[in-house]
Amino acid sequence: PPKQLKGFEKMVLNAGAMKPATITLNKRAFSVWDIETHAWKVIQGKFGIFVGSSSRDIRLTSFVTI
């Protein structure tokens, strides 16, 4: 799939307020199930990291290369 939810933190903020949030993405977040080896396999490449209130309301984008 083009986008997959790999982590989230529910936050309630007043309008205009800001609060830091930390979402840890481990190896599994960048893995797929290998049906031949019956194990998780880390996929190499460039991955988009999207932050927002929903998948349709993306407010921050970054990339990580594995």
pLDDT in tens, 35-53: 999 999 999 999 999 998 8
First to last CA, the chain: 18
pTM over 0.85: no
Take residue 14 and report the two structure tokens written for it.
Answer: 């007043």
pLDDT the model gives residue 1: 59
